[in-house]
Amino acid sequence: MNDSVRGTTRVVILGGGFAGVYTAKYLTELLGGRKDVEVELLSEQNYFVFQPLLPEVAAGGIAATHVVNPIRELVPRARFRCCSVSSLDLAQRRVLVSQGEGLELVEVPYDHLVFCLGKVSHFAGMPGVAEHGLAMKELSDAFRLRNHVLRCLELADIETEPDARRALLSFVVAGGGFSGVETIGELAELVARSLRYFPRISPGDVRFQLIHAQARILPEMPEPLSAAARQILERRGIEMVLEARVRAATPGSVYLHDGRVLETRTFVCTVGTAPNPIVQLALEQGGFARAELGGRPLSAFATEPTLQCQGRPGYWAVGDCAGVPSPSGQGLCPPTAQFAIRQAKTCARNLLAAIDGKPLVQLQFRAFGSLASLGQRSAVAELFGLRLSGFWAWFAWRTVYLAKLPGWVRRLRVALDWTLDLFFPRDITQLQVLRQERLHVHHYEPGEAIVRQGQVGRELYLILRGEVQVSSHGGGSLVRLGPREVFGERALLEDTLRNASVHATQAADVLVLSRADFQALVHNLPVLNDYFGELLRARHPDRMARGEPLTRQLSVTPEPPALERALPLELRPN
């Protein structure tokens, strides 16, 4: 039973991005001290990320914690619930969420539901990109990218094999929109300013490539600014790979549809998005109208200019998941932060008007322009019809985003970061906070080496899809293996050199288990212990004592915590 029966109207907001946080902020400010309306915001993280500054976080120009704000601090008058939305019960007007350990579903009733869920990464049709590509959507993505780039520099500084060193010093970014252009510009600055600490690496050794499907980068901006951005980046040595699409990615290469192969150990993919699964489910099964653009249906809610979902009183959509008619009368509002914030303000006003039985107002907004940072004190910008490029565009970019950053404390910290960055070198400290030995999937294209003879073996491989060939330099081809078959098992017995090479004969997806993860699995799951015990005894009878449990013959004590990180909740031991 909803709280409205007891005299309280409940407004539930899904999403903690620009749209969700600002809708909650404006609505609670309009409510003041009213007790008859309760606002609850649901988000998977308890912080709000100011995404326009993420590329600078990745480049080390801003501290990671300076671009985030606690949601409870931004919307102190709203109730906040840190949880994951599992499903919607539209008939009973409730949201089902998992929180804490996620063992139970909790009901969150509502009278008004506001969808503010952004896009999620989606790389269907591009094998290996999800496994080997680096994203740029979350704070963790920026932190991971920065550490990865610094690690590549450290490895390249001591690498003697030319091809491996060349791949370590090649940086590829896919996507010529705002995110991709700003990311490659900032990464180029990070590397350029870090080379002073790496005397064995010269600027000519480093290569940057930007892949874009269209003929010009920044297609959202006027063509003169797009051309100016390209000239600035090319002067800094960044290569444009235009009218090209990514087909696949492997640990050391990016494959394009036109047949080209870019050798790299750093691949950042800013393309490939899909609607949030909750939005997709509501559109497919909830009876909501889909937005259309040029006659093409979109994975977004069709809304009125008031932000209310078409034909669904009590349901609202703001931001990326909303197809809001543009106030200009042409098409839909673009999925940018400035439009999301203004939509949130209009939605908050109309929510309160709907609760009080008053007329709703339509969205009225004219964008002030667009800006894109290119790194090294350069940018391109269009502000109220004025077009700028170079230093003054960069100055305008920083001024605008500093003013829009929520909270005076964060503004002061970012301003201090920027000031110090003008006079001091970048910090090249590489912080490794993630466990290195973990379960992961690798994708390989035909002909690529998975294991090379002579390498030290410490991992087990399980073929999920495709086919591989095991061969020896002295004995030729040994065997071909397919799905559900394993190789590299000798690494589980001792640190030894590989006595054979393994190459992919077809496009292959391979599950890779470190020794620690494998031992944790077989130690806790008897069925795996028995299976791998028999396999190892059949392939290596000289190394395995028949009748002895597998775990007793492994040289390293299993680590139970590794199992808990590798298995779903329902398979974890008590």
Per-residue pLDDT of 546-556, as tens digits, reads: 555 555 555 44
- Give the range among 401-405, 532-536, 570-574 with minimum mean pLDDT: 570-574
Q: What does the domain layout of the chain look like in residue ranges? A: 3-44+83-119+275-367, 129-271+370-423, 440-571
pLDDT tens by residue, 494-553: 667 788 899 999 999 999 988 777 777 777 788 877 777 777 777 777 666 555 555 555
Collect all residues with Cβ–Cβ distance below 8 Å to 148 and sequence separation of at least 6. 134, 266
Rounded CA-CA distance 400/380 in Å is 13
Which tens digits make up the pLDDT trace of 51-75? 999 999 999 999 999 999 999 999 9
In degrees to the nearest 10, what's the CA dihedral of 556, 561, 567, 573?
A: 100
Tell me what pLDDT residue 467 has: 96
Gap between the Cα atoms of 263 and 129, Å rounded: 14
Residue 454 has pLDDT above 60, yes or no: yes
Q: What's phi and psi for 247, nearest 5 deg?
A: -100, -40
DSSP-derived secondary structure letter, 311? T
Q: Tens of pLDDT along 107-166?
A: 999 999 999 998 888 887 899 998 899 999 899 999 999 999 999 999 999 999 999 999
Architecture of the domain delimited by 129-271+370-423: 3-Layer(bba) Sandwich (3.50)
Percent pLDDT > 90 in the chain is 70
Geometric angle at alpha carbon 56, from 332 and 154, rounded to 5°: 135
C-beta contacts of 26-32 below 8 A and 24+ residues apart: 26/344, 26/345, 26/348, 26/349, 27/78, 27/347, 27/348, 27/351, 27/352, 28/75, 28/77, 28/78, 29/77, 29/348, 30/348, 30/349, 30/352, 31/77, 31/352
Q: What is the pLDDT of residue 556?
A: 40
Three-state SS for 62?
coil
Residue 192 pLDDT: 95
3-state DSSP of 190-236: HHHHHHHHCCCCCHHHCEEEEEECCCCCCCCCCHHHHHHHHHHHHHC
368 versus 249: which is more confidently predicted? 249
> Where is 273: in which H helix or E strand?
strand 273-274
User: Over the stretch 276-330, which tens digit does the pLDDT of each residue have?
Assistant: 999 999 999 899 999 998 889 999 999 999 999 999 999 999 999 999 999 988 8
Strands 79-82, 37-43: pairing kind: parallel
- The closest alpha carbon to 42, from 126, 110, 120, belongs to 110
In this predicted structure, what is the pLDDT of residue 571? 33
* Residue predicted with more confidence, 544 or 486: 486
Rounded Cα distance, 414 and 453, in Å = 50
> Cβ distance 55 to 181 under 8 Å?
no
Nearest CA among 434, 436, 492, 435 for reference residue 462: 492
Q: What is the pLDDT of residue 541?
A: 73
d(CA 316, CA 258): 43
CATH topology assigned to domain 440-571: Jelly Rolls (2.60.120)
504 Cβ contact partners less than 8 Å away, ≥ 6 residues apart: 444, 445, 446, 447, 448, 450, 466, 467, 468, 469
Which pLDDT band holds residue 187 (cuts at 50, 70, 90)? very high
The tens digit of pLDDT for each residue in 224-244 reads: 999 999 999 999 999 999 999
Query: Does 493 have pLDDT greater than 90?
Result: no
Hey, what are 197's tokens?
Answer: 């600490």
List of residues 6+ apart from 95 with CB closer than 8 A: 12, 14, 42, 85, 87, 88, 89, 107, 108, 109, 110, 113
The CATH homologous superfamily for domain 3-44+83-119+275-367 is FAD/NAD(P)-binding domain (3.50.50.60)
Best CA proximity match to 333, nearest among 345, 341, 344, 322? 322
Task: Tell me what the mean pLDDT of segment 440-453 comes to.
Answer: 92
Within 10 angstroms of residue 425's Cβ, the number of other Cβ atoms is 11
Confidence (pLDDT) at 550: 56
393 φ/ψ angles, rounded to the nearest 5 degrees? -65, -40
Alpha-carbon distance 437 to 428, whole Å? 24
Contact between residue 340 and residue 365 where contact means Cβ atoms under 8 Å apart: no
Q: Give the confidence band of 406 by pLDDT, cuts at 50, 70, 90.
A: very high
Cβ atoms of 141 and 269 closer than 8 Å: no
Residue 526's pLDDT is 81
Report the chain's mean pLDDT, rounded to a whole number. 88
DSSP state of 571: G
Alpha-carbon distance of 561 to 214, in angstroms, equals 47
Which DSSP string corresponds to 332-385?
A: B--S-HHHHHHHHHHHHHHHHHHHHT-----------EEEEEEETTEEEEEETT
Q: What percent of the chain has pLDDT over 70?
A: 90
Q: Are the beta carbons of 315 and 115 closer than 8 angstroms?
A: yes
The pTM (predicted TM-score) of the whole model is 0.84
Dihedral-angle region of residue 120 (phi above 0 means left; psi in -120 to 50 means alpha; beta otherwise): beta
User: Do residues 281 and 199 make contact, with C-beta atoms less than 8 angstroms apart?
Assistant: no
Cα angle, residue 434 at apex, residues 432 and 437 outer, rounded to 5°: 110
Same fold, 129-271+370-423 and 440-571: no
pLDDT band at residue 270, thresholds of 50, 70 and 90? very high
